[in-house]
Structure 1
Amino acid sequence: MQDYYNDNYLYNLIASTILAVGMTNELKQDESGINMTYNFISNCVGFDAERLVEAWQEIEAAIPFEQYVRALTMHELGHAIDREALQKSLDRTLEIMEIKKNHSDVELYTNEHLLGIILEEHEMNIVFEETAWQNAKQLNEAVQMIDEVTFELIKNQSLATYKNLYKEDLSIYSLVKEKSLQSV
């Protein structure tokens, strides 16, 4: 990681963004391998400093680092705004986690019903991600930290990750369903 973007610098940048938008969420540094997260149970924003820098470097567009971090921070705060919906999904999320834990990847990706559950999880995640980005856009419009074009680039890049995984699994689901229909 570049010395300039050290742990303390990132902590202060994220904390100042949280304060600038008028929120009070706790901020914790972790080494999860995920650039930024929102834990709706503890109402805490987390960040992995090393991964945050790596993720920024992977973006093909020339986006200033500070704008990237501020946009992701507002996105995580967008989840905090949607906390009630996330809490309501907890039971189903735990059921899906249990199903995934109790089945091998082969079972999950060859059984039409199980694969349907994986698609359901993707769909839930996409809705939560899109809602968080809508909320983040409203936060950004209120404080004007990131220009609209840059914000949209970051949002679209982030959402593409979720949507691409969904599309991949949807393709597998179509093949499994087709195979199932052929064997009838």
Structure 2
Amino acid sequence: MNHKYTEKNLCELINATMQSVGMNVPLKQDNSGVNMSYNFIGDYVGFDAERLIKAKEEMQKTISLELYIKTITMHELGHAIDRKALLATLDRTMEIFDAKRNHSLYELYNSVDLLSMIIEEHEMNIIFEETAWENAQKLNQEFQVVDEECFEAIKKYSLGTYREIYQEDLYLYEKLVAEHAIQIA
């Protein structure tokens, strides 16, 4: 990593942010390609140091890496606060995971039923993302970790990435449904 932050520095910053809001969720470094994530089954926050830095650089608004990491950490803690709801979806989440693992991309995007499942997954994810951001905002308001403007910019960008992918797949789903309706008629 050719940055002033080492993996150890990032880990320390994430842990310090957790402590500043009174939450102590185990932290694990991984190379998943996901900047940060909350594993609700294992009840830990994971982070990929290189991806975390790249994800921050993808934002249009100039925000320091430190503020970005603090904000994303609170977001992941927002998921941890919502763990009970996440666990309630475990059976369906596993069904979707298995279906995605057992079908090719072609099959997933050319079957109305399978693509409907992908849309359902997007919708679940967006709800969980919105809830995590609401929880993170409450943490930030209570503990004043980052300024509101930076928080909102990161939240908007992050939610936008989920909504953009959802909209793309929803378009493909609606197109596929229309094609099937023509074939039936």
**Normalised TM-score (structure 2):** 0.97
- Per-residue CA shift, 1:73-107, capped at 9, x if unaligned? 00000000000001011000000111112221111
Look up the match of 2:22.
22
Contact kept in structure 2, 1:43 and 1:80, CA below 8 Å: yes
Q: Secondary structure at the match of 1:183?
A: helix
**TM superposition shift of 1:58:** 1.4
Distance (Å, rounded) in 1 between the aligned partners of 2:57 and 2:107:
36
Normalising to structure 1: TM-score of the pair?
0.97
CA distance in 2: counterparts of 1:76 and 1:97, whole angstroms:
21
Partner SS for 2:23: coil
Query: 1:170, CA displacement in angstroms?
Result: 0.4
SS in 2 for 1:45: strand
Cα offset for 1:119? 0.2
Residue 125, structure 1, aligned to residue 128, structure 2: no
Match of 2:137, SS state, is helix
Q: Matched residues in 1 for 2:95 and 2:130: separation?
A: 23
Cα displacement string for residues 43-89 of structure 1 (whole angstroms, at most 9, x for unaligned residues): 11111111111111111111111110000000000000000001011
Residue 170 of structure 2 aligns with which residue? 170
Structure 2 equivalent of residue 45 of structure 1: 45
Over aligned residue pairs, what C-alpha RMSD do you find? 0.9
Q: Which runs of 5+ in 2 are unaligned?
A: none
Q: Matched residues, percent identical?
A: 52
Structure 1 runs of 4+ aligned residues shifted over 3 Å read: none
Q: Quote the Cα distance in structure 1 between the aligned partners of 2:9 and 2:165.
A: 32
> What is the distance in 2 between the residues matched to 1:46 and 1:100?
23
Q: CA deviation at 1:109?
A: 0.7
Aligned-partner residue type, residue 23 of structure 2: M
